[in-house]
Amino acid sequence: MTTKILVVDDEPWVVQAVQKYLEEAHFEVIPAYDGEEALAEFDHHAPDLIILDWMLPKLDGISVARSIRRTSNVPIIMLTAKVDEEDRIKGLEIGADDYVIKPFSARELEARVRAVLRRSVGKELPIIEIGDLRLDRMERRVWASGEPVGLTAMEFDLLAFLMTHPGRVFTRLELLEAVRGETYESFERSVDSHIKRLRQKIEPDPADPRFLLTVFGVGYRLAKEARS
């Protein structure tokens, strides 16, 4: 499954240069050019990492990072021309994972990206809550509307993965790769069976799901907020 990187800078040539280099390195790049667009793209695409310029129109990079940190542990690399220690400390305090000082080389940026992605493995939030769903990674337990739900290992892993990326659509093969490291097409339809059983266990009305939604012709996604 391709790693998604949101690249945010108000200078189009910077975004284009970074995008070209990272795509050649086999990352998927989502561009944005101001703070408000950055938050919209973050909500829509659920990227795996964000490269975020400090100085942005409409909403500065620190404000964007602070907003994202309220709900997500996604790695953030700040791009900045600021070199003062106080500025760098401020960025780290609001949750930036690394800094790249402008001007920078594309090779350095790629190396920082890969290093931050390696460090971020296992940093997911231990408890995830969406609507009436609550999932504890450490204890591998799930509650729906306050009631404990018994899940198989595969069902738990599927739900945990989808709850970690709310709103993002995944194909069956992507889900298999994410939770089992397998992408065999012969197993693809097994995902449908697991989703069906999950709905029976966590949905108030499995025939009209609020959480686990089908995206016809593509796959599945978990709703960011369960509809009433």
**Where do you find CATH 1.10.10.10 in the chain?**
127-222
Class of domain 4-120: alpha beta
With beta carbons less than 8 A apart as the criterion, state whether 138 and 130 touch. Answer: no
CATH code assigned to 127-222: 1.10.10.10
Q: Please give the model's pTM, rounded to 2 decimal places.
A: 0.57
- Nearest CA to 128 out of 169, 76, 165, 97 is that of 165
Q: In the structure, what pLDDT confidence band is assigned to residue 10 with cuts at 50, 70 and 90?
A: very high
Sheet of 141-144, strand order? 127-130, 133-136, 141-144, 147-149
Tens-place pLDDT, residues 21-65: 999 888 899 999 999 999 999 988 889 899 999 889 999 999 999
Give the torsion sign (CA, 110, 114, 119, 120): positive
Tens-place pLDDT, residues 123-152: 556 788 888 899 988 788 899 989 999 988
**Where do you find CATH 3.40.50.2300 in the chain?**
4-120
